[in-house]
Chain A
Amino acid sequence: DTAVSQTPKYLVTQMGNDKSIKCEQNLGHDTMYWYKQDSKKFLKIMFSYNNKELIINETVPNRFSPKSPDKAHLNLHINSLELGDSAVYFCASSPMTSSSTDTQYFGPGTRLTVL
């Protein structure tokens, strides 16, 4: 059973297009995240949602819009894609917002390539 799943695994698209990445977790966790890993493997948090409510929003262009229809899903929509958006995007989840000792569980990643 996959704990945190993402679709698609690979996404190749042209500059200027709009695309979405989906994430689902079956762990019953309250909190979900989106991270971006660049070509140098540097990982940075983008967003965090707790029970469908946005709680972390890092300095991310407003072309990126997360959407959480329920606490098991956190999707990432990207408008007007740019070359610099090429990266691997990881979804993660953790049990509770209030506990900083909680482990974050990561999905397998979505490799986005913008041409």
Chain B
Amino acid sequence: AQSVTQLGSHVSVSEGALVLLRCNYSSSVPPYLFWYVQYPNQGLQLLLKYTSAATLVKGINGFEAEFKKSETSFHLTKPSAHMSDAAEYFCAVKKAAGNKLTFGGGTRVLVKP
């Protein structure tokens, strides 16, 4: 069975500072990995996804994530936080065969002025 762990349910950053959200997965086969963002009272929106091409994936809104097989990690970063980045972020994993997404518990990002 595959699972996803997001370290830290809450992260607080200052505007302009680095955003780092941690995601580790466990999977018996190489997975596909996704980061979604949920703004307040909205549905989920895809930020980026890893599908076994380049290990460094660039997404929307200046976010990027690096797939590290040796560490079973897919951490999300953004060099400079903006107030509009305040949201809930979800890491998700999917097996190479099939379409079932398994989500981590989410990390809420607060951005301080």
Chain A interfacial positions (CB closer than 8 Å to B): 4, 31, 40-45, 48, 55-56, 90, 92, 94, 97, 99-109
Give, as a whole number of angstroms, the nearest-CB distance from B33 to chain A: 11
What are 17 of the A-B contact pairs (CB < 8 Å)?
A: A4-B43, A40-B105, A43-B103, A45-B100, A45-B102, A48-B100, A55-B99, A56-B99, A90-B43, A99-B99, A100-B96, A101-B49, A103-B46, A104-B101, A106-B45, A109-B42, A109-B43
Chain B interfacial positions (CB closer than 8 Å to A): 32, 34, 36, 41-46, 49, 51, 88, 90, 94-103, 105-106, 108
Given A4-B43, A106-B44, A109-B42, is A42 in contact with B106 using a C-beta cutoff of 8 Å? yes
Residues from chain A with a CB closer than 8 A to the CB of B49 are 101, 103
* 7 further contact pairs, Cβ within 8 A, besides A41-B88, A45-B102: A100-B98, A100-B99, A101-B51, A103-B34, A106-B43, A108-B43, A109-B42
Tell me the bound Cα distance from A68 to B22 in angstroms: 37
B106 and A97 form a contact (CB under 8 A):
no
Query: With contacts defined as CB atoms under 8 Å apart, how many contacts are there between chain A and chain B in the complex?
Result: 58
Residues from chain A with a CB closer than 8 A to the CB of B105 are 40-42
Give, as a whole number of angstroms, the nearest-CB distance from A25 to chain B: 12
Give, as a whole number of angstroms, the nearest-CB distance from A18 to chain B: 25
Given A41-B88, A41-B105, A42-B105, is A31 in contact with B99 using a C-beta cutoff of 8 Å? yes
Tell me the bound Cα distance from A40 to B90 in angstroms: 13
Give, as a whole number of angstroms, the nearest-CB distance from A63 to chain B: 22
Residues from chain A with a CB closer than 8 A to the CB of B43 are 4, 90, 106-109
The CB with the most chain B CB atoms within 10 A, among A43, A103, A104, A108, is that of: A43
Tell me the bound Cα distance from A94 to B95 in angstroms: 15
Q: Whose C-beta in chain A lies nearest to the C-beta of B95?
A: A100
Q: Which of A48, A99, A100, A108 contacts B42 (CB 8 A)?
A: A108
